[in-house]
Amino acid sequence: MKKIILVPLALFVVLLAFLAVGLRRDPHEIPSPLVNRPAPAFSLHTLQSGQSLFSPEAMRGKVWMLNVWATWCGACQEEHPVLVSFAREGLVPLVGLSYKEVQASDEPAGKPLSPEDKLAMARMRSQAWLRAKGDPYSLVAMDLDGRVGIDYGVYGVPETYVIDKNGVIRYKQIGAVTPALLEQKIRPLIQELNRS
Amino acid sequence: MIVELGHYALILALLVALLQGVLPLAGAATRNWHWQSLARPAAIMQFLLVSLAFAALAYAFQENDFSVRYVADHSNTRLPAMYRFAAVWGGHEGSLLLWLELLAVWTVSVAIFSRQMPLAVVARVISVLGLISTGFLLFVLTTSNPFERLFPVPMEGKDLNPLLQDPGLVIHPPMLYMGYVGFSVAFAFAIAALLAGRLDVAWARWSRPWTLVAWVFLSFGIGLGSWWAYTELGWGGWWFWDPVENASLMPWLVGTALIHSLMVTEKRGSFKAWTVLLAISAFSLSLLGTFLVRSGVLNSVHAFASDPTRGVFILIFLAVVVGSSLTLFAWRAGSVSLGAKMAWVSRESLLLSNSVLLVVATAAVLLGTLYPMVIDALNMGKLSVGPPYFNTVFVPLMVPLLFLMVLGVRARWRESTLQEWLHPLRSIGVAALLSGGLVALYFGWSWGVAGGMALGMWVVLGTLEPALERLRKPGKIPLSFFAMHCAHLGMAVLVIGVTLVKGYEIEKDVRIAAGDTVTLGDYSFELQRVTEVMGPNYVAKRAEVLVKRNGDTIATLYPEKRRYPSTAMPMTEAAIDTNLWRDLYVSLGEPLNNPAQEWSMRFYLKPFLSWIWLGVLMMVLGGLLAVSDKRYRRSVEARLSGVPA
C-alpha cells in the first residue's frame, strides 16, 4: 500500500522527462525522404531568357542551394532579404526554382495561356520583382507547371535545399529561411560540405 | 497611460499574490491568527488588481490603441465591437490574462462563500490559489506581457484571426477556462487537506460544490468548442481528437470521476486517497493542457506560435506544482484511513469501477496525445496519432462504463445483492437490446448502431425506471435526485446522438453550377445562385441553396465563403438547417473556373446531430441542479438563523 502511492509521482517524473525533451523538438519539422538521396534531375528554361536550359548536372562538383519561390508567395517576401544578404557573401551559388509563377487565376477567362506566353509572363513578373527587391540568385529555373516541384516533394513555397558536390540533397527546409536557421544549421553544413 | 496602469496593476498583483500565497499558509502552520486572516482581504485585493489590468487591456482594444503590440496583432479598426472585446483573449498573452482573471474570480468566490468553514482551512485554500496565481503572474510578466508597446505605431492592426470571429468563440474560451481554472479550487482544497493532515468528510463536502461548478463550466465549454468546430470549420465534423480537444477532454474525464468519488467520500468516508489523487490529477491535466497549447510541442490547429522560453517556463511551473503536490500526496496519503468497509457488490464498488474506467480512458487519451512527441523524443521518427486510435481505444472503455452506470444508480450503499437487481434489470436489458436491434434494422443494419443504441437505451430505461418508481412514492425528493438522473440521461442522449450520426450520416462532395440539384436521402438541394456580399470586415461569396423534401421547399440555406482582406484568409461559413431529427449542412468550396460558373460544394445529412448538443446541455443542467441542492446552503442558512450547523 505504501509503495503504491509513489506510483503517480513516478509516472509524472517520466512524463516530465519526455515533455522536457519534446520541448526541444519542432513538431513542424517534417523529415524529407529526399534527404541523403540524389537531387532529382530536370531540365528547365531559365529566367535569364534565351533558349538555354538549366539542369542540376551543371552544378556537379559544387555545393549549392536550391530555393523554391514565387512572386505570389507571402512568406517569400519575408525570406527574401535574408537570402539577398546571404548571397552577397558568395559562399555558395543559390539557384532559384520559380514555382508555378503563373496561376490559373492569372489566365484570361476561358482561355488558357500557351506555354510560351506563360513563360514570357512569368519572366516579366519575376524580373520586375527581383529588380525591386534585389536578386540573390545566380540563376533561376522556371518550373511553370510544377512538375519539378512534385519530384522534389514541394509542400509549399518557399522551400530550400542544400545539395552537395555529388548532387546529393543534404538538407531541406520547409518554409522561410530565417537568419537563426541560416547561422545554426545551413552555414555549418555548407562549411563542412565545402571542406570534404 | 491606461495601459501602463494595467501593467502596473499586474505587477502589484504579483506582490499581493506572493503575500497571499505565503502568509496565510505560514499562519495556518504556526496558528498565527493574524496571518491567517490576511487571506480574504488579499484575495479581494488580488481580484481588484487583476481586473484592473484586464479592463485596461479591454479598453486598449476598444480604443484601437495600436501602440500596444498585442492590440495591433489581434485587432483592426473594422473589427466589430463584440469581437474587439473577445480579441482580448484571442492570442497567447491575453488568454493568459483571462486565465489569471478567472483564477481571481474563483479565489474571491471562495473568500466570500466560505463563511461556514474554519479560518485555517480558508487560509490554506486561498494561499494555495495565491501560489498558483503567483506562478501565472510571473509567467505573464516575464515572457508574455500583453501591455508591451510597439514603435513605430502602425496605422492599422493585423486583425483577429477570422477563425475566431464567431459568436461561439466569444464565450468558448472563458467557459473552458472557468472549468480549467475551477479545478484549481478542488486542487487547493485537496492540498489544504493534505497539509493539515485532515482528509475528512467535511473536506469532501466543502469541495464538492466547487468541483461541480467547475465541471459544469468545463462541460459547457467543451460542448461550445465542439459546436464551433462543427459550424465554423466547414467539414461537418464535431470532434477531431485534436491535441487541444484532448487537453480539455482529459480534465473533464478525471473531473467526472472526481465529482462521483467526492460523493462517496462525503457519504461513506471511503476512497479518500483516491479522491485526493483525482483532485490533483484534474488540475494537473488542466495545467498540462495549458503547456501543450502554449509551448508548441504538439501540432494542433489551436497552437499559437511557439516560443521555447515560454515552454520552459510552463514546464518548470508544471514540475513544481504537480511534483510537489504528488510528493505531498505520497508523504501524507499513506496514513489516511481507508474508511468504511464496502462489499464487492455495492454502490461504492461500482462507483470505484467507473472512476477507474474514466481514469484509464484518460490515460489512453493522454498516451495517444503525447505518443508522437514521445516517439520523436526517443528518435524513433515522426508520426501522428489520429481518430482511428482514439475510437478503437476509447469506445470499448465507454461500453462497460455505461453498463455499470445503471447498476451504480440502483445499488445500495455498503452492500447490495445481485438478486435484487436481477429481476427489473432483466426486462430493461431485453428491452434495450430489442430497441437497439430494431432501430438498426429499420435504418439499415450495422452492429455498431445496434450496440450503441442498445447501450443508450439501457441507460435511458435503467435511469427512468427507478426514477419513476421513486416519484410515485410519497416524500420530498431532493434536487440532487433530479440532478443525477438529468445528467445520466444526458449521457444517454449523447451516446444515441453519436451512434446515429456515425452510423447514418451521408455526405456528398460535388462540382455544381447554378440550377443543378443534389439529392441526399429524401432531401434535394438546388443551387440557385452565388452572389457577392459585403460584411463589416470581409467580402463573401454567398450561395443560395433551396432545400426540398418530397417536392416541398423546407428551407433556403446561405453558405458563404468569406475573404478577410486584412489577413487574406479565406473562411468557410457553413449553413445548417437543424431540427431534432437531422441536420442539413451545406458548405461552399472554391470556384472551379474563372469567371466562376461551377463551384465545389459539400452537402451533409446528419441524423440526430442536435442530440449531441442536447446531451451536453442535459449534463450541464444536471450539474447545475446538483449545485443548487439545499445541502450546500444548509450551513449558511443555519448560521443566519443562529442555529449551529
Q: For B35-59, how does the pLDDT look when each residue is reduced to its tens digit (9 = 90+)? A: 999 999 999 999 999 999 999 999 9
Placement of cell 495591433 in the chain: B72
Residue A104 has pLDDT above 60, yes or no: yes
A53 vs chain B: nearest CA distance in angstroms?
Answer: 32
B335: nearest CA partner in chain A: A2
Residue B635 has pLDDT above 80, yes or no: no
A180 vs chain B: nearest CA distance in angstroms?
Answer: 14
What's the topology of domain A35-195?
Answer: Glutaredoxin (3.40.30)
Instruction: Identify the band that residue B337 occupies on the pLDDT scale cut at 50, 70 and 90.
Output: low
Instruction: Identify the band that residue B303 occupies on the pLDDT scale cut at 50, 70 and 90.
Output: very low
Instruction: Return the pLDDT at A109.
Output: 59
| Helix (H/G/I), strand (E/B), else coil: A142 | strand
Q: Which of B272, B277, B287, B297 to mutate to test the interface with A (most CBs of A within 10 A)?
A: B297
Instruction: Return the pLDDT at B537.
Output: 81
- Classify the C-alpha dihedral A160-A164-A169-A173 as positive or negative: negative
Instruction: Return the pLDDT at A98.
Output: 92
What is d(CA B148, CA B65) in angstroms, rounded to the nearest whole number? 12
- pLDDT mean over B529-537: 87
B569 vs chain A: nearest CA distance in angstroms?
Answer: 12
Q: Which of A7, A11, A13, A19 to mutate to test the interface with B (most CBs of B within 10 A)?
A: A19
Instruction: Identify the band that residue B277 occupies on the pLDDT scale cut at 50, 70 and 90.
Output: very high
Q: Residue B210: enclosing H or E segment and its boundaries?
A: helix B201-232
A19 vs chain B: nearest CA distance in angstroms?
Answer: 8
CB contact under 8 A, A15 and B299: no
Query: Could you tell me if B222 and B322 are in contact, meaning their C-beta atoms sit under 8 angstroms apart?
Result: no
Taking the whole predicted model, whether its pTM rises above 0.90 is answered as no
Residue B116 has pLDDT above 50, yes or no: yes
Q: Given CB atoms, is A14 within the 8 Å cutoff of chain B?
A: no
Q: Is the ipTM here above 0.85?
A: no
Residue B566 has pLDDT above 90, yes or no: no
- Which one, of B269, B379, B375, B281, lies nearest residue B325 by Cα? B281
Which chain B residues are Cβ-neighbours of A25 within 8 angstroms? 297, 373, 376-377
Instruction: Identify the band that residue B100 occupies on the pLDDT scale cut at 50, 70 and 90.
Output: very high
Question: B430-469: per-residue pLDDT in tens?
Answer: 999 999 999 999 988 899 999 999 999 999 999 998 888 8
Report percent pLDDT > 90 for chain B: 53
Which chain A residues are Cβ-neighbours of B374 within 8 angstroms? 18, 22
Which chain A residues are Cβ-neighbours of B296 within 8 angstroms? 26-27
Instruction: Identify the band that residue B615 occupies on the pLDDT scale cut at 50, 70 and 90.
Output: very high
Instruction: Return the pLDDT at B559.
Output: 93
Of A22, A74, A109, the CB nearest to B373: A22
How many beta-carbon pairs under 8 angstroms link A with B?
78
Residue B203 has pLDDT above 70, yes or no: yes
Which chain B residues are Cβ-neighbours of A109 within 8 angstroms? 594-595
Instruction: Identify the band that residue B295 occupies on the pLDDT scale cut at 50, 70 and 90.
Output: low
Which chain A residues are Cβ-neighbours of B319 within 8 angstroms? 16
| Least confident stretch, A104-118, A120-134, B558-572 | A104-118
- pLDDT mean over A62-81: 88
CB contact under 8 A, B315 and A12: no
If you average pLDDT over every residue of chain A, what do you get?
85
If you average pLDDT over every residue of chain B, what do you get?
87
Instruction: Return the pLDDT at B105.
Output: 97
Which chain A residues are Cβ-neighbours of B323 within 8 angstroms? 9, 12-13, 16
B292: nearest CA partner in chain A: A19
Q: Which of B271, B304, B326 to mutate to test the interface with A (most CBs of A within 10 A)?
A: B326
**Amino acid at the residue B531:** T
Instruction: Return the pLDDT at B633.
Output: 61
Q: Given CB atoms, is A20 within the 8 Å cutoff of chain B?
A: yes
User: For the range A101-105, what are the long-range contacts, defined as Cβ-Cβ under 8 Å and sequence gap of 24 or more?
Assistant: A101/A70, A101/A71, A101/A72, A101/A125, A101/A126, A101/A142, A101/A144, A102/A144, A103/A72, A104/B594, A105/B594
Instruction: Return the pLDDT at B308.
Output: 66
Instruction: Identify the band that residue B536 occupies on the pLDDT scale cut at 50, 70 and 90.
Output: confident
Residue A43 has pLDDT above 80, yes or no: yes
- pLDDT mean over B304-313: 67
Instruction: Return the pLDDT at B479.
Output: 87
A14 Cβ partners below 8 Å, 6+ apart?
A: none
Which chain B residues are Cβ-neighbours of A77 within 8 angstroms? none
Q: Specify the length of chain A in residues.
A: 196
Query: Could you tell me if B503 and B609 are in contact, meaning their C-beta atoms sit under 8 angstroms apart?
Result: no
A109: nearest CA partner in chain B: B594
Q: Which residue has the higher pLDDT, A28 or B467?
A: B467
CB contact under 8 A, A1 and B374: no
- pLDDT mean over A32-46: 85
Q: Given CB atoms, is A53 within the 8 Å cutoff of chain B?
A: no
Q: Which of A12, A14, A155 to mutate to test the interface with B (most CBs of B within 10 A)?
A: A12
B interface toward A at CB cutoff 8 Å? 273, 277, 280-281, 284, 291, 295-299, 308, 311-312, 315, 318-319, 322-323, 326-327, 329-330, 333-334, 370, 372-374, 376-377, 381-382, 568, 593-595
Q: Which residue has the higher pLDDT, B315 or B189?
A: B189
Instruction: Return the pLDDT at B369.
Output: 87
B521's torsion region: left (phi>0), alpha (psi -120 to 50) or beta?
left
Question: B122-174: per-residue pLDDT in tens?
Answer: 999 999 999 999 999 999 999 889 999 988 888 888 877 777 787 877 888 88
Spans of all domains in chain A: 35-195
Which chain A residues are Cβ-neighbours of B281 within 8 angstroms? 8
Greatest mean pLDDT among A181-185, B276-280, B539-543 lies in B276-280
Query: Could you tell me if B525 and B508 are in contact, meaning their C-beta atoms sit under 8 angstroms apart?
Result: no
CB contact under 8 A, A31 and B381: yes
Cα separation of the two ends of chain B? 51
CB contact under 8 A, A9 and B277: no
CB contact under 8 A, A25 and B373: yes
Of A2, A21, A104, the CB nearest to B334: A2
Query: Could you tell me if B268 and B339 are in contact, meaning their C-beta atoms sit under 8 angstroms apart?
Result: yes
- pLDDT mean over B385-391: 85
Which chain B residues are Cβ-neighbours of A31 within 8 angstroms? 381-382
Question: B413-423: per-residue pLDDT in tens?
Answer: 877 677 777 77
**Amino acid at the residue A135:** D
Q: Which residue has the higher pLDDT, B529 or B53?
A: B53
What is d(CA A2, CA B443) in angstroms, rounded to the nearest whole number? 55
Which chain A residues are Cβ-neighbours of B321 within 8 angstroms? none
Instruction: Identify the band that residue B373 occupies on the pLDDT scale cut at 50, 70 and 90.
Output: confident
